[in-house]
Amino acid sequence: MILNGNKRMRKHVKNSKRKAKFPPSCGCKTYLTHWEKATKLNKPQRCSKLGCSNAARVGAHIFNCSDTSSNKLMIVPLCNACNNPANSECFYLKKNVKTPSASKMKSC
């Protein structure tokens, strides 16, 4: 995370290059459903990537760029364009976006 300007306290993440298992092993029909159950929130109307206003369509697999010691895979609602495993660049999420684990959870 950076501590100045518009990106203060925002999560710094990147797409996972791992191929997702479908359906998720937890029993949720989609990873977007998994995100909704884990956060107890309805999916946002818009992509969670800072600066993107496209419709959120998928539960994307991401890693935290700020914690390079962890390989914890998380889920976040993104549009199809921002959910690009070929994109190796880190990006910021909009403020207060929840990033639950991609693993099976009690809420599933």
Q: In Å, what is the CA distance from 63 to each residue of 4, 18, 20, 34, 91? A: 22, 11, 13, 17, 11
Considering the entire predicted model, what is its pTM? 0.83
With CA atoms as reference, report the closest residue to 76 among 19, 22, 12: 12
- pLDDT tens-place string over residues 49-98: 999 999 999 999 999 987 766 678 899 999 999 998 788 899 999 999 99
Q: What is the pLDDT of residue 8?
A: 57
